[in-house]
Amino acid sequence: MAVQPIRIFGDPVLRATAKPVTVFDKELRRLVKDLTDTMLEAPGAGLAAPQLGVSLRVFTYNVDGVVGHLINPDLSLSEEEQDGPEGCLSLPGLRFDTKRAYGVVARGVDMHGEPVTVEGTQLLARCIQHETDHLDGIIFVDRLDREARKAAMKAIRETDWGGGPAPTVRISPHSTFGPIR
């Protein structure tokens, strides 16, 4: 297993727009394996490459027993919305109600460059949107309304890992979205 440290909120790599993958080689396959192993060990419902300090458009997911990955995703979102608790391995221990599209169709490629389409609703849709946000330098607390974001930032400052002089790199002991059903 190749479990890697997860970057914590405050690390600049989490705010950068990730670059598209253009080379499909052994290093990319190793990255997908590292993402998968780290996500499963954490455990989390998803993990994006920037969370491991790699600024590439790659993420993995583990929802309802289905483990997969997507590279260079392009999303089509449903108009119907869902609102529910969301967490992040880069903000360990914190969860906030976040609005997301109820359904998503995600198109991209796999680690071999072959086309992939992933369709989902509810938790899978939430996970895909959350991980794609990471690829765009967006953290889920950015999606909260003003009052909720203010409360979230206060909660972050009150954690043992938030508000310090420099970001720390640790593997989160907390689940991203709660138990997988």
Could you tell me what percentage of the chain is helix, strand and coil, using 3-state DSSP and rounding each to the nearest 5?
Answer: 30, 30, 40
Query: What are 65-111's pLDDT values in tens digits?
Result: 899 999 999 999 999 999 999 999 999 989 999 999 999 999 999 99
Active-site residue (options: 79, 119, 131, 158): 131
Active site includes 131? yes
**pLDDT score of 172 more than 70:** no
Q: What is the pTM of this model?
A: 0.86
User: Do 177 and 126 contact (CB within 8 A), yes or no?
Assistant: yes
Which residue, among 83, 94, 81, has the nearest Cα to 178 in the 3D structure? Answer: 94
Question: What's the pLDDT score for residue 163?
Answer: 52
Tokens for 133?
């946000």
**Mean pLDDT, the chain, integer:** 89
Binding residues are: 88, 130, 134
**Range of weakest confidence among 6-10, 30-34, 175-179:** 175-179
Comparing 162 with 91, the larger pLDDT belongs to 91
Counting Cα atoms < 13 Å in the Cβ hemisphere of 43 gives 10
Domain ranges of the chain: 12-158
Q: Which CATH code, of 3.30.70.100, 3.40.630.10, 3.60.21.10, 3.90.45.10, is assigned to 12-158?
A: 3.90.45.10
Binding residues for Fe cation are: 88, 130, 134
End-to-end CA distance of the chain: 24
- Residue 47 C-alpha from the chain's centroid: 4
